[in-house]
């Protein structure tokens, strides 16, 4: 049994290039000088035949078209067994509307995220007679594809933007932002595309893992302000940055992790430029910069 993971989308919400952005990275991607990236999603399998998708991005139709292992195997037969959501963000749930063509699969999410979906009637386009909505409770292993177990656990984060009130807690612990512990045979892998900080519980979970896909939204906390394209810091958005004393580079430095891969990178992040010094620094610290189509097997 071999665990396989394929990055369907390595970018954060909006992708690269983002449709309304003229930042350096977006312009370079438009001109073909750096690789374009679609929005955050990961496909995983324990046998190479049956697959689960973690987060359904708005780009999922193209992502699946670009991924041969997810192509139909018959007239209406698919290798897709399930979709699992780590939060209710638009860039992680909007793709569900593309998967509405009466195709059976199981939709896994926590009670809080299922409640968000149930509260929006547009998601009833996923016909309940063929798409089973399975509620997954924290710290309870669930088989999401043959031989592949997923255990959800709380990570510091916040509610989706469209559910924010006057007061926003950005390091909320609950079932609105979760990480995924994937197990296939002897392999332990983790997928955490959104995380506000690496607390002691999370450090203990990840220590000794063979593979970790982790939140790489911003290089520095005020990156969007410096670029003149936003008013929010990474912390305000519920994401820890890569650099700095409180960043993920420093936080992972003392952890024993076999392979570390950044995903969910914002269009402003300089690590998306292959020749940037920031990318070189991340790679020197043992990180792989994820990109669309990258496949990792353990």
Mapping DSSP to helix (H, G, I), strand (E, B) and coil, where does residue 137 land? coil
Taking residues 180-188, report their average pLDDT: 95
Taking residues 278-295, report their average pLDDT: 98
Topology classification of domain 4-291 = Metallo-beta-lactamase; Chain A (3.60.15)
Minimum mean pLDDT range among 93-102, 158-167, 214-223: 158-167
Residue 257 has a pLDDT of 97
pLDDT per position as a tens digit, 41-79: 999 999 999 999 999 999 999 999 999 999 999 999 999
The pLDDT mean for the chain works out to 96
Residue 238 has a pLDDT of 87
**DSSP H helices in the chain:** 24-30, 60-65, 90-93, 111-118, 200-206, 223-227, 248-252, 277-284
pLDDT at 1 over 80: no
What are the φ/ψ torsions at residue 264 (nearest 5 degrees)? 60, 55
Residue 36 has a pLDDT of 98
Domain positions in the chain? 4-291
What is the C-alpha to C-alpha distance for residues 192 and 180, in angstroms, rounded to an integer?
Answer: 7
Taking residues 153-164, report their average pLDDT: 90
pLDDT per position as a tens digit, 104-117: 999 999 999 999 99
Taking residues 14-39, report their average pLDDT: 98
Residue 229 has a pLDDT of 86
């Amino acid at each position: 049994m071999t665990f396989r993971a394929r990055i369907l989308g390595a970018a954060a919400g909006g992708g690269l290039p983002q449709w309304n952005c003229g930042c350096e990275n977006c312009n370079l991607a438009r001109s073909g000088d750096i690789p374009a990236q679609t929005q955050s999603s990961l496909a995983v399998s324990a046998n190479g035949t049956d697959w689960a998708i973690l987060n359904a991005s708005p780009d999922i139709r193209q992502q699946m078209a670009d991924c041969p292992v997810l192509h139909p195997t018959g007239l209406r037969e698919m290798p897709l067994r399930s979709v699992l959501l780590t939060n209710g963000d638009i860039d992680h749930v909007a793709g569900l509307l593309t998967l509405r063509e009466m195709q059976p699969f199981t939709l896994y999410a926590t009670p809080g995220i299922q409640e968000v979906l149930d509260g929006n009637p547009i998601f009833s386009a996923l016909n309940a007679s063929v798409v089973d909505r399975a509620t997954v409770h924290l710290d309870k292993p669930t088989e999401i594809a043959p031989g592949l177990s997923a255990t959800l656990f709380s990570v510091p984060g916040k509610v989706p933007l469209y559910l924010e009130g006057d007061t926003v807690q950005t390091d909320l612990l609950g079932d609105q932002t979760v990480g995924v512990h994937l197990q296939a045979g002897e392999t332990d892998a983790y997928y955490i595309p959104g995380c506000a900080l690496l607390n002691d519980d999370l450090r203990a979970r990840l220590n000794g893992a063979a593979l970790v896909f982790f939140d790489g939204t911003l290089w520095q906390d005020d990156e969007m302000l410096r670029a003149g394209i936003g008013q929010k810091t990474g912390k305000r958005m519920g994401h820890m940055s890569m650099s700095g004393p409180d960043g993920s580079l420093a936080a992972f430095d003392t952890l024993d992790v076999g392979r570390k891969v950044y995903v969910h990178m914002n269009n402003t992040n300089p690590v998306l430029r292959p020749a940037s010094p920031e990318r070189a620094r991340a790679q020197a610290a043992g990180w792989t910069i994820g990109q669309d189509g990258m496949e990792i097997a353990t």
